[in-house]
Amino acid sequence: MAKNPLKVLVTGAAGQIGYALVPMIARGAMLGPDQPVIIHMLDISPAAEALNGVKMELVDASFPLLKGVVATTDVVEACNGVNIAVMVGGFPRKEGMERKDVMSKNVSIYKAQASALEKHAAPDCKVLVVANPANTNALILKEFAPSIPDKNITCLTRLDHNRALGQISEKLNVHVGDVKNVIIWGNHSSTQYPDANHATVNTVNGDKLVPDLVGDDKWLKTEFIATVQQRGAAIIKARKLSSALSAASSACDHIRDWVLGTPKGNWVSMGVYSDGSYGIPAGLIYSFPVTCDKGEWSIVQGLKIDEFSREKMDATAKELMEEKSLAYSCLN
pLDDT digits (tens, 9 = 90+) for 24-77: 999 999 999 999 999 999 999 999 999 999 999 999 999 999 999 999 999 999
16 appears as a binding residue in the annotation: yes
Task: Identify the weakest region by mean pLDDT among 37-46, 218-227, 238-247, 279-288.
Answer: 238-247
332 appears as a binding residue in the annotation: no
Q: Do the beta carbons of residue 128 and residue 252 sit within 8 Å?
A: no
217 appears as a binding residue in the annotation: no
Q: Max alpha carbon distance in the chain (Å)? A: 59
Question: What pLDDT does residue 100 have?
Answer: 76
Residues paired with residue 291 on neighbouring β-strands, in sequence order: 298
Catalytic annotation, pick one of 40, 161, 175, 188: 188
Q: Of the CATH numbers 3.40.50.10300, 3.90.110.10, 3.40.630.10, 3.60.40.10, which one belongs to the domain with range 157-327?
A: 3.90.110.10
pLDDT in tens, 71-98: 999 999 999 999 999 999 998 777 776 7
310 appears as a binding residue in the annotation: no
Phi, psi of 72 (to 5 degrees): -150, 160
Q: Do the beta carbons of residue 230 and residue 192 sit within 8 Å?
A: no
pLDDT in tens, 105-149: 899 999 999 999 999 999 999 999 999 999 999 999 999 999 999
Catalytic residue check, 161:
no
* DSSP string for residues in 30-67: TT-TT--EEEEEE--GGGHHHHHHHHHHHHHTT-TTEE
Check if 6-155 and 157-327 are the same fold: no
Residue 303 pLDDT exceeds 90: yes
27 appears as a binding residue in the annotation: no
E-state strands within 133-284: 153-155, 179-180, 183-185, 193-195, 200-203, 206-209, 268-273
43 appears as a binding residue in the annotation: yes
Question: What pLDDT does residue 96 have?
Answer: 73
Question: What pLDDT does residue 1 have?
Answer: 72
As a whole number, mean pLDDT of residues 169-195 equals: 97
Percent of the chain residues past pLDDT 70, beyond the cut: 99
**What are the residue ranges spanned by the domains of the chain?**
6-155, 157-327
Its CATH architecture, for the domain 6-155, is 3-Layer(aba) Sandwich (3.40)
Give the pLDDT band (50/70/90) at residue 300: very high
